Every structure is written in structure tokens, then in C-alpha cells.
Amino acid sequence: MWYSYLSAELDDNDAVVAQVTTDQQSSWYCGHFPDDPILPGIAQLHMVSATIAKVLQKDLILQNLTRIKFKKLIRPGDVLDIHAVPDKKKNQFAFRITSDQEAVCSGTLTLAPKEEIEKNS
């Protein structure tokens, strides 16, 4: 895996909280960019959705993204804090990624259970 969990759990307010670090040898960094490696936004969004699925122990599929903002570059080896709160709307999570208490990325994800999607297909 191209990132490692330092911690990942559900807090007392039903928020998903995790701390991760990225692998400095990840192929994400090789192509984005060779002389100035940064973690692409799509990788950040995947990491958040996979972390929510892991903590909730559900097979979830990303369906929608809204209000996504990228504010800080993620470099190889950075330690990232992920915080995702269930929204009032079904299957939605407001999330933020921070590093050293600085905002990195934020927005809202809609994640639906895989079996729900397959049933409606």
C-alpha cells in the first residue's frame, strides 16, 4: 500500500479520525512530478474514502464529490490527519485533511455501500 496508518478509529462523535503517512517510494510521486514530488488530488480523495470504509468496516464506493478544495501540497513522508464526519444526508461525509495543523484538503464525499449500488443497477 502506498500509505500507512499510524491510527484509524471512530471517535465519540461518530467521526472517522486517522493519521497516515505516505510511502516515499510510492508510484504516485514518480509521475507527479519527477523533480518536485507531490501527492495528486485523486490520491488524496482515494485515501479519505478508503479510510472511511476501513474504519466503518464497510465496502463503500465513491459516488460524488462536492466543494473539494486543495490548499497545501503533500510531500513524500508527510504525516496527515484525516477527519470525516457523517453529514445529515445519507452516505455523505464532510472531510478535511491536515498536516501540522494546516489545512491540506477538504470537501464532501458521497460514499454508498457496494451492495446498495449493485441492487439498484
DSSP per residue, 9-70: EE-TTS-EEEEEEE-TT-HHHHSS-TTS----HHHHHHHHHHHHHHHHT--EEEEEEEEEEE
Q: Count up the domains in the chain and report the number.
A: 1
pLDDT above 70: residue 65: yes
Predicted confidence band at 18 (pLDDT cuts at 50, 70, 90)?
very high
pLDDT score of 34 = 73
- pLDDT confidence of residue 80: 98
Instruction: Say yes or no to pLDDT of 68 above 90.
Output: yes
Give 97-116 pLDDT, tens digit per residue.
999 999 999 999 999 988 77
Give the pLDDT mean for 20-24: 92
Structural domain that includes position 63: 3-120
Report the CATH number that the domain containing residue 89 is assigned in CATH: 3.10.129.10
